[in-house]
Amino acid sequence: MKKRFSKIVALILVLLLLVSIGTGILVKNLVTKDLLEQKIEEAINCDVSIGGVEVSLFNFPAKVVITDISLMPKDGPKPNEAPVSIGEISLSIGLLALLERHIDVTHIGIKQAEFSVTYYKDGSTSLGKLFESPDKEKRKQKDKNKKEDEGFNIHDQGDFVTSLGGLSISDSYVKVVLEEMGLDLECKNLNLELSSIKLDPENLAASNEAELKAASEISIHSHSKEHYGDLFMDGSAKVSLFNVSTGGIEPEIDGEFSLSDQSWLSTNMPIVAESWQQLSVLENVGIRIGALPEKATFGRSKSISAHYHLGRITVLKPLSIWVEDWEVAVLGKGWLDTQNDQHDVRLELLASQKASALMAPLITKALELLPEQIRSSVADDIQANLFRDDRLLVKVKSSGAFSEPKIRLDGKIIDISKSSRKAAEDLLKKKAGSLLEGLLK
């Protein structure tokens, strides 16, 4: 009996091994370069080239590694626009789905990707046509009343990707060209991870949220190649990936990203240079402002807390920037639209306590020249409008085109001579009123 049972177990193991080997041969025959190139080209509007495919069946879930991927627009790239190239994509996939010629992805890992994307003045992007569905008529038939969206649409991918879990990108490079703003952003050493998602095209409303962790060095240049700064960023965010109604890619991000000590901005950026010129009004109180230094660094906050949606970046918490011993505070609720170059930002320019302390005696000496009767009134006026916690303060508003900002004072700057005249007039009226009151009595 014991020997018979052993034979049965051995037979079952042999059968399982044969099934496993047979399944392995079948799956490896299914997951080929030709199949993947065909499926991708059916899903998005581009020419696809794949260098190699490796399948590991004895992982759970199974793993497919695709190397040397290139995506090229069918009509070829425009000048200065490189095709998308990826060194390696690894996919953790469901084995049973593969047998049905579907791809049930639980995780995608992307390494050494390189691509550029241009945001044009009309709001379109260079990658829009690359990732749109090639079968527009099929989409129109699904919903004739729905406005056609350019680009990848998750609703069209139910027969290609049945579900998607996490996504990671490592050691990658992305160049973003903002045509309207005249800026180029180079994201170097990009490492990104999207997790806590179970994206399902058939149930997008319940599977559209994700958690994002990202780190990158962002180098900022003007189109004329002027270096505007480097941002070394690292942080996390909450992300909605798609527009639930249309199925189009429409990321909405709420995040906070720390900035390393190596981060800096050029003071040649128009908004910084124009704001600094506003400090000349302090000459009204006897304060002379020196020349603008070349670099600004990030001060007390050392982080960017922002909301992003449809090209608009909204500052959620004040952002502190140091220009030598002056602090430029970009206040919360200010916004910048990267698609149309418009912005509306309020700034506070604060001198350091040390600098303010050095400037205070100048104001004191000026006050000492005033008659004693009005000295106190003028001092109170200056303290209320020109200082905050013993730091000199200038409020500024910037709006319009970010590349050519319109900057104006957003608060009251005290001119000692004007304030003195007003105080003297108030004193004279008060004394005249007292004299008149006495005469009437």
| Same-domain status, 198 and 164 | yes
| Same-domain status, 163 and 189 | yes
| Same-domain status, 174 and 32 | yes
| Same-domain status, 254 and 275 | no
| Same-domain status, 34 and 100 | yes
| Same-domain status, 346 and 427 | yes
Closest CA to 153 of 123, 126, 128, 132: 132
For position 353, what pLDDT does the model report?
Answer: 73
For position 42, what pLDDT does the model report?
Answer: 74
Is 17 inside a domain boundary? no
Residue 60 structural domain: 28-260
| Same-domain status, 313 and 210 | no
Is 11 inside a domain boundary? no
| Same-domain status, 218 and 337 | no
Is 322 inside a domain boundary? yes
Total structural domains in the chain? 2
User: Given 260, 294, 317, which residue is the final one in a domain?
Assistant: 260
| Same-domain status, 239 and 351 | no
| Same-domain status, 288 and 225 | no
Q: What per-residue string of b and e applies to 347-386 under the rule 16 or more CB within 10 Å gives b? A: bbbbbbeebbeebeeebeebbeebeeebeebbbebbeeeb
Is 186 inside a domain boundary? yes
Closest CA to 327 of 305, 354, 306: 354
Q: How far apart are CA 79 and CA 81, in angstroms?
A: 5
Is 171 inside a domain boundary? yes
Q: How far apart are CA 162 and CA 202, in angstroms?
A: 8
What is the secondary structure of 54-95 as a DSSP string?
EEETTSSSEEEEEEEEEEE-TT-PPTT-PPEEEEEEEEEE-H
| Same-domain status, 313 and 337 | yes
| Same-domain status, 99 and 207 | yes
Whose tokens are 């302090």? That residue is 282
pLDDT along the chain (441 residues), means of 10: 46 41 47 75 79 76 83 71 82 63 72 89 76 59 46 60 75 92 94 82 79 96 94 95 82 94 91 77 62 84 92 92 84 91 90 72 63 65 71 85 85 51 49 39 39
Local structure of residue 155 (DSSP, 8 states): G
Is 363 inside a domain boundary? yes
Is 2 inside a domain boundary? no
